[in-house]
């Protein structure tokens, strides 16, 4: 699905990502974790195209098609290839309605659907009754649902979620976990998750990648994650 090899990224003279390797296999949920400021969001911004990389490769491959290096592809091309992204700040249009936000999201695809797929409102039934409400008037939990719905409207092959539980209560966190599990295990969607909550990670993810100062210092099956492994690396 997506293979990163020796990816390096800089902010000015600051070396942020160091020869980073990451393999995202089709149908798996992989979690990137680490303390704040260790390169997690930088990594996903490189994958989605919002930040350039200095060197390395990011090979995207779908079944039956030749691999494509994403490094020089613009953001909109990556979305059209099948990469959906929900950033921490959600990036919804607060003055537009729920339905208008979804319609704008559909324009990013080369073969965009003409109407909002029924699956979106099946997954997010509460959004249906709110579809004419301005998104800025929604509760923060509903805004997060809308951001996720916008990413899913083009039926991506890879969904990237940057701290989806941030600021949510326990009920929201549980529901988000249920949704991620459903998308991954029932629909076969490949997911890259940036998250800090160990219990949440162990519930939804298959594999993990632990970052420290922009380096991949540990990776493997999520069953190998425990408090002892994580404790030494989650402090800045």
Domain with 23 in it: what CATH number?
3.40.50.300
Is residue 55 domain-shared with residue 164, that is, in the same domain?
A: yes
Report pLDDT digits (tens) over 134-161: 998 998 888 989 999 999 988 899 999 9
Is residue 228 domain-shared with residue 160, that is, in the same domain?
A: yes
Going from the C-alpha of 160 to that of each of 30, 84, 93, 123, 139, the distances in angstroms are 10, 6, 19, 17, 22
- Name the token pair of 198: 């160990």
In degrees rounded to 5, what are phi and psi of residue 20?
-80, 130
Report pLDDT digits (tens) over 102-120: 988 887 665 555 788 888 9
Considering its fold, how many domains does the chain have in total? Answer: 2
In degrees rounded to 5, what are phi and psi of residue 67?
-70, 150
Boundary of a domain, candidates 130, 155, 180: 155
Q: Give the separation between CA 42 and CA 34, rounded to whole angstroms.
A: 12
- What is the arithmetic mean of pLDDT over 121-126? 91
**Exposed, middle or buried, 109 (CB in 10 Å: 0-12/13-18/19+)?**
middle
Is residue 75 domain-shared with residue 177, that is, in the same domain?
A: yes
Is residue 12 domain-shared with residue 77, that is, in the same domain?
A: yes
Q: What pLDDT score does 110 carry?
A: 56
Is residue 132 domain-shared with residue 236, that is, in the same domain?
A: no
Is residue 177 domain-shared with residue 102, that is, in the same domain?
A: no
Boundary of a domain, candidates 135, 155, 175: 155
pTM: 0.89
Domain with 22, as residue range(s), is 1-82+156-236
Is residue 99 domain-shared with residue 74, that is, in the same domain?
A: no
Report pLDDT digits (tens) over 19-44: 999 999 999 999 999 888 889 999 99
Report pLDDT digits (tens) over 166-182: 877 888 899 999 999 99
Q: What pLDDT score does 236 carry?
A: 46
Is residue 160 domain-shared with residue 112, that is, in the same domain?
A: no
Is residue 161 domain-shared with residue 72, that is, in the same domain?
A: yes
Is residue 1 domain-shared with residue 75, that is, in the same domain?
A: yes
Nearest to 230 by CA among 193, 192, 197, 191: 197
Boundary of a domain, candidates 139, 155, 171: 155
Is residue 57 domain-shared with residue 173, that is, in the same domain?
A: yes
Is residue 160 domain-shared with residue 78, that is, in the same domain?
A: yes
Please give the helix or strand (H or E) that residue 117 lies within, else none.
none
């Amino acid at each position: 699905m997506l293979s990163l090899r020796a990816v390096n990224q800089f902010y000015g003279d600051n070396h942020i990502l160091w020869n980073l390797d990451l393999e995202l296999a089709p149908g798996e949920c992989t979690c990137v974790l680490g303390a704040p400021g260790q390169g997690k969001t930088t990594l996903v911004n490189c994958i989605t195209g919002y930040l350039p990389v200095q060197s390395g490769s990011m090979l995207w491959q779908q079944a039956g098609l030749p691999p494509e290096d994403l490094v020089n592809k613009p953001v909109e091309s990556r979305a059209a290839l099948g990469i959906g992204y929900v950033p921490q700040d959600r990036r919804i249009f607060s003055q537009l309605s729920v339905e208008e936000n979804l319609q704008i999201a559909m324009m990013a695809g080369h073969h965009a659907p003409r109407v909002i797929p029924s699956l979106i409102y099946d997954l997010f039934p509460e959004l249906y009754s709110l579809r004419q409400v301005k998104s800025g008037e929604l509760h923060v939990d509903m805004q997060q649902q809308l951001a996720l719905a916008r990413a899913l409207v083009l039926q991506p092959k890879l969904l990237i979620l940057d701290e989806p539980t941030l600021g949510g209560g326990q009920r929201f966190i549980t529901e988000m976990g249920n949704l991620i599990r459903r998308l991954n295990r029932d629909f076969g969607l490949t997911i890259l998750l940036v998250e800090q909550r160990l219990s949440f990670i162990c519930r939804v993810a298959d594999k993990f990648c632990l970052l420290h100062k922009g380096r991949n210092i540990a990776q493997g099956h999520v069953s190998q994650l425990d408090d002892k492994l994580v404790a030494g690396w989650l402090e800045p």
